[in-house]
């Protein structure tokens, strides 16, 4: 009888230890989950906030310039700086905005996909700007510490060089007004900077006329 009681006592002790061990494990797991939640919840909240801000900005952009798909117009364009056209067929210039862009490896046809988006929005998407009598390009470069830096190249009308803008062969009184221009189908746009002679300017306009307008 004493043997049985001893056995019963040992069994009860083992069960108590098992319960204690199991409880400790559950407590540890609960604390671990709480610790993860403390880390994960702020991250999820931050991601949601970023998505909300991005959606708001995107929505305001669409509302400002119209709904994507409300238009699909095509125009030929050339931006010529000191006798050299910018090659927009390069990958870094392709489809930088859903609203107005070059695409398909072509660098001469501008596609307008909303009814209110101006030429200046295309420039902005390409890190370029047209203001007053200046055309500017912002290049991202990397220094020795691998930090991104922005370098702006400005081409402004002065006593020697001049910035000029043409739409369908007609010169705009102010080149900066091209930034607000909403292109029409089959337009031909030339933005040119330098000290071109009359013959060189005529040649640049003729070159623009030869550019095929690719409609896709």
State pLDDT tens for residues 5-14: 544 555 555 5
User: Distance (Å, rounded) from C-alpha 115 to C-alpha 25?
Assistant: 64
pLDDT of residue 127: 97
Of the two residues 15 and 122, the one the predictor is more confident about is 122
Give the other-Cβ count within 10 Å of 158's Cβ.
Answer: 10
Domain boundaries, the chain: 1-65, 73-210
State pLDDT tens for residues 46-75: 777 666 555 445 555 657 899 999 999 999
> Is 178 strand, coil or helix?
helix
Greatest extent of the chain over all pairs of C-alpha atoms, in Å? 123
188: Cα separation from own chain's centroid: 25
Q: How far is CA 110 from CA 88, 182, 197, 216, in A?
A: 10, 11, 27, 11
pLDDT of residue 44: 81
State pLDDT tens for residues 125-184: 999 999 989 999 998 544 455 455 568 899 999 999 999 999 999 999 999 999 999 999
**For the residues 101-118, what does the mean pLDDT come to?**
97
User: Distance (Å, rounded) from C-alpha 74 to C-alpha 119?
Assistant: 12
User: Distance (Å, rounded) from C-alpha 72 to C-alpha 113?
Assistant: 5
pLDDT of residue 147: 52
Q: Are strands 148-156 and 134-142 parallel, antiparallel or unpaired?
A: antiparallel
Of the two residues 82 and 50, the one the predictor is more confident about is 82
User: Distance (Å, rounded) from C-alpha 108 to C-alpha 189?
Assistant: 10
pLDDT of residue 27: 66
Q: Does residue 163 contact residue 155 with C-beta atoms inside 8 Å?
A: yes
State pLDDT tens for residues 200-213: 999 999 999 999 99
Q: Does residue 152 contact residue 138 with C-beta atoms inside 8 Å?
A: yes
pLDDT above 90: residue 216? no
């Amino acid at each position: 009888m004493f043997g049985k009681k001893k056995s019963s006592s040992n069994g009860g002790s083992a069960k108590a230890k098992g319960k204690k061990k199991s409880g400790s494990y559950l407590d540890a797991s609960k604390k671990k989950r709480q610790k993860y939640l403390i880390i994960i919840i702020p991250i999820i909240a931050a991601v949601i906030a970023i998505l909300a801000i991005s959606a708001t900005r995107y929505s305001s952009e669409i509302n400002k310039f119209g709904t994507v798909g409300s238009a699909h117009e095509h125009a030929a364009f050339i931006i010529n700086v000191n006798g050299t056209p910018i090659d927009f067929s390069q990958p870094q210039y392709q489809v930088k905005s859903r609203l107005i862009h070059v695409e398909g490896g072509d660098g001469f046809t501008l596609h307008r996909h909303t009814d209110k988006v101006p030429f200046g929005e295309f420039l902005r998407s390409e890190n370029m700007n047209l203001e007053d009598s200046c055309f500017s390009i912002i290049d991202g470069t990397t220094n020795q510490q691998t930090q991104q830096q922005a370098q702006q190249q400005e081409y402004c009308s002065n006593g020697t060089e001049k910035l000029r803008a043409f739409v369908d062969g007609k010169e705009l009184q102010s080149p900066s007004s091209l930034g607000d221009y909403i292109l029409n189908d089959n337009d031909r746009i030339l933005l040119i900077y330098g000290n071109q002679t009359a013959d060189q300017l005529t040649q640049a306009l003729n070159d623009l006329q030869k550019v095929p307008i690719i409609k896709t």
